[in-house]
Chains A and B, each alone.
Chain A
Amino acid sequence: MARMNMIQALNSAMDVMLERDPGVVVLGEDVGYFGGVFRTTDGLQRKYGEHRVLDSPISELGIVATSIGMAVNGLRPVAEIQFADYIYPGYDQIVSELARLRYRSAGEFYAPVTIRTPCGGGIRGGQTHSQSPEAIFAHICGIKVVIPSNPYDAKGLLIASIEDDDPVIFLEPKRLYNGPFDGDPGKPAVPWSAHPRGEVPEGHYTVPISKAQIVRAGSDVTIIAYGTMVHVAEAAAASLGLDAEIIDVRTIVPLDTGTLCESVRRTGRCLIVHEATRFAGFGAEISATLQEQCFWQLQAPIGRVGGWDTPYPHAFEWEYFPGQKRVAMALEAVMTAS
């Protein structure tokens, strides 16, 4: 099997789909000739031509809206929004159009559009290159929301998203592009080549949407995380010597409630960890669901860790980012409460 970092895995997913399905087109700012500012679409235009891999004008509204039009006319667009922080000019097209087209036309029209976009912090990008907007998409009815935490899942989930007949917002934690990141910026970077999930098949495979994954089985506490925070949570639990069960949500919508509840019923304790701001963050939805379904098995209040409820700052990146310390402190609270 090949070794890939997350960028190569995503590139491979698009390559496989462009090859298999003549309806697949890739579009976005700088994605064509240049291959994307993160090089995720590198080489695809050369291989599949300028009508399959299109550079677009700088208009996120235009990218989303034309993707809808193309999809309605039989194509399967994979649109890139250069940073998730720049998706808002396209928000109306996503909320009012993409998400509701199937519903409002009673299934006659639908738009199988995948919108890929790099998200999350940890790269000194300040407030316009660091946001984690999953919750504002989770609140919309009619789009799926996916966020991988490693190259293997990234490729399999992206292929599944492209093949899905519903629209998908595909969030790529950019801090994980080149290697796993445990939240400690002082440590030397680790490449994906040393990680088991950096082993990625060259060909076609899918990772099912709507299936969470238990990345570490344990019995003391359930830690529910996604994206970059899966790796931070693993490190934080290890630092406390806890036998934590760690679940990578992988799909925000539709949420795999079954896997989460089954685990929490067993451990009786739960901490939810995400990078996004805490207030009305997706952790609130998970927490409420668990409270409804696992109340009688809970031994402690469910904990939540997130970014502070401020815009993402530049100078205070590591005070803002929910690193191991914040996760560990919250874990201790969840473990000692009774």
Chain B
Amino acid sequence: MANRPRTRLHVPHPPARPGDRADFSYLKLQPAGAQPRPDVRVSAQATLPMATGLVRVLDDEHRAVGAWDPRLEPEVLQGGLRHMLLTRIFDERMQRTQRQGRISFYMRCLGEEAVSVAGAMALRPADMLFPSYRNQGFYMVRGRPLVDLMCQLLSNTRDMCKGRQLPVMYHWREGNIFSISGNLATQFPQAVGWAMAAAIKGEDHVAATWIGEGSSAEGDFHAGMVFAEVYEAPVLLNIVNNQWAISTFQGFAGGERSTFAARGPGYGVAGVRVDGNDFLAVHAVTQWAAERARKGGGPTLIEHVTYRASAHSTSDDPSRYRPKDEYERWPLGDPVERLKQHLIALGEWSEERHAALTKELEEQVGASWREATKFGTLGEGPRLDPDLMFEDVFKEMPEHLALQRDQLRAERS
């Protein structure tokens, strides 16, 4: 009687909590070059081995190996390194300005730079990106001046959002980067709609979207997958599995018994699991999925296996819920370091050049910051006109808002 099987409630546990030894033995890894690269028109079901395996290109000796090697020119690799390094230096500096009280909030993408940089580089400028809040690398690749990003962070007189959005919630219509929402996962099915429109209009642009593994638990994810599959929409659906969603590990989003990429074939969508810290692998997989979409092969779900090396945001303290040294034991390394070593192994880079580039980018970030703060900071300098608060609620301001604008003017006088 005592041993009779009965129902039970399983509660996922991360392998390590503060004080424990970091343990990534749960991660299913594969050596670089192990995955074959199928034709882009392969059926969704046939992608299951790629969805449960791991596409990697860079091996432990920093060589590019296997069928997925995208064979990029050294200049392209150097460009990728520059964008990733710039992203990292920008992040570090903006984090510091938040600590100094110059901006109200910040979110870094430390350790995840390859996901955004390689992804955006493998797409065309006319392809539409639907980001989460941890994709600042897109802006580096597509060349938005840093001053513009900083002015948004400062909510100052040149803020692209006119003071209406929390820091990091950028947008860039001209650069084809969609407005970031504070509400998780909403962009995921929206990207599918954009892609459907491209197909309806007969264009060969594709859409791509990124969502955190934690956010993939939202219903929006399901809607996005179903619409993508039903209409075979030309869309790249990226899940950034950085192992953590604030304090909950990826097991709370369904990563314990299956990979996130494996959901793809379950929906009838191609799935690929990729080493998200391997610039070459992310580039190659993105290129593959974009070609598939452009040739009418439909959507691909890509899981990027990476690690959120920083705190969730400047409001978060990860030492309360995960071992302090976890990132040091992360088996997939640092994307910047790995690409740098690869370039050095190719004879196309050196420590000296790296140091010089670092210095150059630090100066660029510093100069941009000095420029941006001329347009005001949250607390000092010129300020946006509060009248702006009432604009863009509608295309034309209705009477009740005009009255409230006047009321505010009276209140402030």
Contact = CB atoms under 8 A, between A and B. Distances in A.
A313 B404 contact: no
B176 interface: no
Contacts of B183: 85-86, 88-89, 128
B410 A329 contact: yes
A314 B383 CA distance: 13
A288 interface: no
A308 B408 contact: yes
A29 B244 CA distance: 12
B217 A315 contact: no
Contact of B254 (A29, A30, A57): A57
25 contacts: A30-B248, A33-B247, A33-B321, A37-B246, A51-B9, A57-B214, A61-B218, A61-B219, A89-B219, A124-B105, A126-B164, A127-B166, A127-B182, A129-B182, A308-B390, A309-B400, A310-B390, A314-B104, A315-B159, A315-B378, A316-B389, A319-B408, A319-B412, A325-B411, A329-B411
Given A89-B218, A319-B412, A58 B184 contact: yes
B404 A308 contact: yes
Interface in B150-177: 155, 159, 161, 163-167, 169
B386 A316 contact: yes
B384 interface: yes
A41 B49 CA distance: 42
Contacts of A37: 246, 315-316
Interface string A155-178: 000000000000000000000000
B401 A58 contact: no
B101 to A, nearest CB: 11
Interface residues of A, number: 41
A309 B184 contact: no
Secondary structure of the B side of the interface? loop
Interface in B94-138: 104-105
B252 to A, nearest CB: 5
Given A34-B247, A308-B404, 17 more contacts: A33-B247, A37-B246, A55-B247, A58-B248, A59-B218, A61-B218, A61-B219, A85-B183, A88-B183, A89-B218, A124-B104, A308-B408, A310-B401, A314-B167, A315-B159, A316-B384, A319-B389
Nearest to B221: A59
Contact of B253 (A58, A124, A126, A310): A58
B163 A315 contact: yes
B355 interface: no
Contacts of B9: 51
Contacts of B254: 57
A88 to B, nearest CB: 7
B194 to A, nearest CB: 21
A314 B156 CA distance: 11
A33 B17 contact: yes
B182 A85 contact: yes
Interface string A12-34: 00000000000000000110011
B245 interface: yes
A33 B247 CA distance: 8
A57 B11 contact: no
A287 interface: no
Contact of A310 (B17, B316, B389): B389
A320 interface: yes
A128 B105 CA distance: 13
A88 B219 CA distance: 11
B2 interface: no
Interface string B209-248: 0000011011110000000000000000000000001111
Contact of A316 (B163, B169, B182, B411): B163
A30 B318 CA distance: 12
Contact of B166 (A30, A59, A129, A308): A129
